[in-house]
Amino acid sequence: MQIDFTNKNVIVTGSSQGIGKKIAETFAESGAHVVLTDIDQETLEKTKNEFEEEGYACTAQVCNVTNKTEVQKLIKNTYAELGSLDVLVNNAGITKDTLLMRMKDEDWDTVIETNLKGAFLTTRASIRYFLKQRAGSIINISSVVGLTGNAGQSNYSASKAGLIGLSKSVAQELAPRNINVNLVAPGFIKTKMTEKLPEDVKNKYLDNIPLKYFGAPEDVANTVIFLASPLAKYITGQVIKVDGGMVM
C-alpha cells in the first residue's frame, strides 16, 4: 500500500529544522497539508519559504510549546483554517546536559517544560477535535535514553521517560475512539542537537551502535509516517526505537 496523506492535516512541533523539518517534509511529499510550527520566527519563515518553493501545501505559526495560550491558538487556528487535524507530532525538544550534582533548577525545569509539558499542552488542546473526528494519530518523539537513562542527561532522560508514560496513558484513554498514540525513540541522529557533542563522546556512541553509523532525520521521519498511516492502524501505545540497534 502506498502511504498517501492527501487531504490530511498534520502539525509537527519544532519543525523549522532537524528531525521535525524532515518529518514535515515527508508528510508534505505524501500529500499532506503541513502546519509548520517552531519557537523562532526567522527560522520558521525560512523553512516555510523552502516548502513553498517545493510546492508543498503548508502554513506556519510560531508557537512556543511551553506557552499554553500559544498552543491553544495553534490548535484552534489549525482547526478553523483547515477543518480537521489528522496527525499531531510532538517533536520540539531541547537538551541541557550536565551531571546531576551540577544541574541548576533552571536546567531541570526548562527541559521538562519543553519536552514533557509541551506535549501535554498540545495533546490536551487537540484532544476534543480528535474525539469529535473519532480518528487521528498522535506521535511523540521520545529517545532511547528515556528507556535506558544516560549519565549527564538526567533531566532529558526523565522528560523522555515521562513522555512514554504520558503517551501510554493517553493511548488507553483514546483507543476507544479510534485514535492511536505512539512514540518514536531515536538513538543518535545527526542534527544540530548532536552536532555540538565532543568528538570523543560521538565516537563512544558509535562504538555502541551495532549498525556502525549514525542515523539521519529521514530514518525517524519514515517511522513517523508509517505510524501515522493506515498501515499501522493496529499499533497503539508503543515505543518504536530507531537507533541502529543501540538498545535491544
Residues 125-164 that bind ligand NAP (CB under 6 A): 141, 143
Question: Catalytic residue at 156?
Answer: yes
Site track for ligand NAP across 56-95, x = CB under 6 A? --------xxx------------------------xxxx-
**Which residue is it, cell 518504536?**
240
> In one letter, which amino acid is 49?
N
Neighbouring-strand partners of residue 103: none
All residues at 6 or more sequence positions from 171 whose CB lies less than 8 Å from its CB, including other chains: 180, 181, 182, 236, 237
Decide whether 61 or 84 has the Cβ nearer to ligand NAP. 61
b/e string for 70-99 if b means 16 or more Cβ within 10 A? bbbebbeebbeebebbbbbbbbbbbbbbee
Residue among 79, 129, 156, 213 flagged as catalytic: 156
Length of the chain: 248
Given 8, 9, 12, 16, the residue binding ligand NAP (CB under 6 A): 16
Q: Look at residue 179 and give its three-state secondary structure.
A: strand
- Min dist. Cβ of residue 192 to ligand NAP (A): 4
Decide whether 116 or 232 has the Cβ nearer to ligand NAP. 116
- Min dist. Cβ of residue 48 to ligand NAP (A): 13
Nearest by Cα to 147 from 18, 248, 19, 14: 248
Only segment of 32-40, 71-79, 165-173, 232-240 that touches ligand NAP (CB under 6 A): 32-40
Dihedral of the alpha carbons of 57, 62, 67, 70, in degrees to the nearest 10:
-70
Given 28, 39, 125, 170, the residue binding ligand NAP (CB under 6 A): 39
Decide whether 97 or 178 has the Cβ nearer to ligand NAP. 97
**Which residue is it, cell 532529558?**
156
How far apart CA 12 and CA 91 sit, in angstroms, is 7
Decide whether 102 or 192 has the Cβ nearer to ligand NAP. 192
Given 154, 155, 182, 191, the residue binding ligand NAP (CB under 6 A): 191
How far apart CA 33 and CA 42 sit, in angstroms, is 21
- Residue 228, CB half-sphere, CA atoms under 13 Å: how many? 32
- Min dist. Cβ of residue 23 to ligand NAP (A): 9
- Min dist. Cβ of residue 179 to ligand NAP (A): 21
- Min dist. Cβ of residue 18 to ligand NAP (A): 2
Residues 205-234 that bind ligand NAP (CB under 6 A): none
Catalytic residues: 156
Q: Residues interacting with ligand NAP, by CB under 6 A? A: 13-14, 16-20, 38-40, 43, 64-66, 91-94, 114, 118, 141, 143, 186, 188-189, 191-194
